[in-house]
């Protein structure tokens, strides 16, 4: 289960909408044991593509340092799918960097954004509920 | 030169759980060689098959991405920090 702070949720969805027509991405931080993302970092997609994303490395470093300074850790990544479902693509699965992370997908296929979260471990996808708080 | 190497969570199993280790060398490449000598399990996660930087790894020398400093040829100084981070990407 991923507990997602409401502010983080709104920033995340806003960032994805702002990124159209390209995929947008960002990082989530929290205390891993709590399974709660309390903070959202809006990073650049250096791939600048409507089909793939890559988190700006310097943005990742900055987010990691800021999270650490706040007593948090990076616990996941979010990115948008501009025309497909909020489900990890084969590319998402192949390139998932950390089996401990939460992988949040934001689908902008329809008028209302759809947000879903997954764990990706050893190539296996397991959806988890998202609880806004 | 002795530098501090900071490792992301996903690489810590290879260092017995350590998030920060010290390594020596005059360049990032030599630091990596020392790192791998200390922790052989890191090799395949930080270097590609051809011995160059692993394509899914980002490396920072202090605040600078080493891909702009000559990658493994980037020179290091005493007390520098080398930060390893996995590339975060997908589609």
Q: DSSP assignment, residue A50?
A: S
| Predicted pLDDT of residue A33 | 87
CB contact under 8 Å between A61 and B87, yes or no, is no
| Predicted pLDDT of residue A17 | 98
| Structural domains in chain A plus CATH codes | 2-132 (3.40.140.10)
CB contact under 8 Å between B10 and A97, yes or no, is yes
> What average pLDDT does chain A have?
97
Residue B54: pLDDT band by 50, 70, 90 thresholds? very high
Cα–Cα distance between B90 and A94 in angstroms, integer?
8
- Chain A: give the shortest CA distance to residue B25, in Å: 23
Model pLDDT for residues A81-125, shown as the tens digit of each residue = 999 999 999 999 999 999 999 999 999 999 999 999 999 999 999
Token pair of A16 as six digits: 């994805």
Cα–Cα distance between A81 and A109 in angstroms, integer?
7
Q: Tell which phi-psi region holds residue B71, choosing left (phi > 0), alpha (psi between -120 and 50) or beta.
A: left
Q: Is the model's pLDDT at A32 over the cut of 90?
A: no
Tell whether B19 is within 8 A of chain A (Cβ). no
Token pair of A12 as six digits: 């995340």
Cα–Cα distance between A39 and A85 in angstroms, integer?
24
pTM of the model: 0.94
Q: What percentage of chain A reaches a pLDDT higher than 90?
A: 97
Is omega for the bond preceding A21 within 30 degrees of 0, making it cis? yes
| Structural domains in chain B plus CATH codes | 2-86 (3.10.20.30)
- Chain A: give the shortest CA distance to residue B75, in Å: 19
Q: What percentage of chain B reaches a pLDDT higher than 70?
A: 100
State mean pLDDT over B49-74: 95
ipTM score above 0.85: yes
Token pair of A76 as six digits: 């996941």
């Amino acid at each position: 289960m991923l507990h997602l702070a409401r502010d983080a949720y709104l920033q995340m969805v806003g960032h994805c909408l702002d990124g159209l027509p390209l995929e947008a991405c960002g990082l989530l931080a929290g205390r891993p044991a709590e399974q709660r993302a309390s903070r959202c970092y809006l990073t650049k997609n250096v791939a600048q593509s409507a089909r793939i994303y890559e988190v700006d490395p310097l943005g990742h470093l900055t987010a990691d340092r800021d999270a650490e300074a706040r007593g948090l850790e990076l616990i996941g990544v979010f990115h948008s799918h501009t025309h497909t479902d909020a489900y990890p693509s084969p590319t998402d699965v192949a390139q998932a960097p950390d089996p401990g992370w939460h992988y949040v997908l934001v689908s902008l296929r329809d008028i209302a954004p759809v947000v879903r979260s997954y764990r990706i471990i050893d190539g296996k996808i397991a959806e988890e509920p998202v609880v806004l708080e | 030169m002795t530098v501090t190497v900071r490792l992301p969570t996903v690489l810590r199993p290879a260092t017995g759980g350590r998030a920060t280790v010290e390594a020596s060398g005059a360049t990032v490449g030599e630091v990596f060689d020392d790192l791998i000598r200390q922790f052989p399990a890191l090799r395949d996660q930080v270097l590609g098959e051809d011995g160059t930087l692993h394509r899914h790894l980002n490396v920072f020398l202090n605040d600078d991405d080493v891909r702009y400093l000559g990658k493994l040829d980037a020179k290091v100084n005493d007390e520098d920090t080398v930060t390893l981070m996995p590339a975060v990407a997908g589609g």
